[in-house]
Structure 1
């Protein structure tokens, strides 16, 4: 394969993962585009062909919630390409709801995909990234910095990922591996549609939380109507892969930087509570 670098990317059937795969191939990388169900690769393959890079892209099965699948995929990549230069942890799942109504299942499901899946892929890849002095880039979210109403399970998992990666980063750097997290805001992708939300049914089941949920839904639909494109978000990931000295934390838009900055400067939490309280119709002095 010459001197081209190999990057394993999770969650590539749509959205940011698909766009990152195509962008990496355009940069001359050899992307291994992974997904749980490889029959969903049609859109990725079509996009790669349109960009003229389909000969560089390999599709592979990887279920981040299955340790055997992770180990098999990483070992296969190393055997085929002779090593691994970078990983982009992008696979993720979301849910909308609140704990009293939704129960524990969404919390456990989010942790399995969004946190434990990231940890499992990272653990399997690190020996190879250490050998190549490579890059580990993880797509988190502004929801990994700021807790958001009706996203308790999702934000808890993304907070966990941020804490894990922030703790790992200096340890990994001591053996030559650079770690970055990329924090998008609203992205116009299939991520939202993929949750298959039945909004009327959600509101009917929300009981005393229905007015707050309606306010949150109204606000969120407006936010996603002017969302960033997956290709734009992918640009930040590519920069984290290729810049000589990438920062640990990267927001993908000016809005995301301002939003994350509100939390990072908010020592007593009041500014965030005022901000997100407004999303559910609360007014605070």
Structure 2
């Protein structure tokens, strides 16, 4: 039996992971910025799930949630950093008032929640699941700010994996493609400054035309995440769904092509040997 702390449980993958973990008999600290949105979810799992407020932009609430996990369940085995949202629009269209809050939630909030949980995770050799995205594998026009936030999550997670391996703490970067959650319906914002020059690449209609039509079954993705958490040797990178896998394959091929095409020129940059 594992003890989980999951952020962003009011909807989407966070809510589904919390329910799936509790249904299989694990103990869950489900959190959300508005705890009222998740209180009813915890009622059927009295004694195995508690609902707590956690605003990832307020590090004190993360420390409090970790403390309650230890007080209630005796420790912590799994941290899932799921809270986040997206900003669509061209780079020139976005403003600091729009993109800085997204980084506060998606990157700095993840960092502070992780830092709060690390002492408890090191004691048990636990697992961190950081929810990235196909957008964290490769950038695309109109998603640059969201790409940048998820790329930061990927780099941070890779560094954490190296730092925490001596303690037996594993890191899994979940990289879902399009799944039929309510992410596009409630967790996407658009840059207010709509510029006609970027009409073809700003992805302004992506959420509207794809919400509810995604091919991915989120419950099947959750099942894969549970398998990774339970695995003796989980993957660091976990693309979820055929779209995410296709993004990764294209990125690897393009990266290799660039390296190979410019190898002779770009590798010859050391001082001449005496």
Q: TM-score range by the shorter chain?
A: 0.7 to 0.9
Structure 1: runs of 5+ lacking an equivalent: 271-285
Structure 1 residue 154 corresponds to structure 2 residue 146: yes
Question: In the TM superposition, what are the counterparts of 1:249-268 in structure 2 within 5 Å?
Answer: 249-267=237-255
Structure 1 residue 95 corresponds to structure 2 residue 83: no
- Counterpart of 2:122 (choices 117, 122, 130) is 130
- Counterpart of 1:179 (choices 171, 183, 187) is 171
Say which SS state the counterpart of residue 58 (structure 1) adopts. strand
Question: In the TM superposition, what are the counterparts of 1:8-157 in structure 2 within 5 Å?
Answer: 8-41=5-38, 44-45=41-42, 49=44, 53=45, 56-157=48-149
Structure 1 residue 210 corresponds to structure 2 residue 199: yes
- Counterpart of 2:227 (choices 231, 235, 239) is 239
State the Cα deviation string for residues 122-164 of structure 1 (Å, max 9, x = none): 1111111110111111110010111122111111010001000
Structure 2 CA distance for aligned equivalents of residues 237 and 185 of structure 1: 14
Structure 1 CA distance for aligned equivalents of residues 257 and 187 of structure 2: 29
Distance 1:115 1:54, change over 3 A: same
Structure 1 CA distance for aligned equivalents of residues 216 and 182 of structure 2: 13
Cα root mean square deviation, aligned:
2.4
Distance 1:154 1:66, change over 3 A: same
Say which SS state the counterpart of residue 201 (structure 2) adopts. helix
Structure 2 CA distance for aligned equivalents of residues 60 and 218 of structure 1: 33
Aligned to 2:270: none
Say which SS state the counterpart of residue 221 (structure 1) adopts. helix
Contact preservation (8 Å) 2:57, 2:104: yes
When structure 1 is superposed on structure 2, of 204-213 and 89-98 the one drifting more is 204-213
Aligned to 1:282: none
Say which SS state the counterpart of residue 149 (structure 1) adopts. coil
Deviation at 1:190, TM superposition (A): 1.6
Say which SS state the counterpart of residue 130 (structure 2) adopts. strand
Structure 2 CA distance for aligned equivalents of residues 74 and 91 of structure 1: 16
Distance 1:58 1:220, change over 3 A: same
Contact preservation (8 Å) 1:13, 1:43: no
Structure 2 CA distance for aligned equivalents of residues 250 and 220 of structure 1: 27
Deviation at 1:165, TM superposition (A): 0.5
Deviation at 1:244, TM superposition (A): 1.6
State the Cα deviation string for residues 84-129 of structure 1 (Å, max 9, x = none): 1111111111111123222122221121111111111111111111
Distance 1:121 1:259, change over 3 A: same
When structure 1 is superposed on structure 2, of 9-18 and 91-100 the one drifting more is 91-100
Size of the aligned set, in residue pairs, is 258
Structure 2 CA distance for aligned equivalents of residues 29 and 165 of structure 1: 25
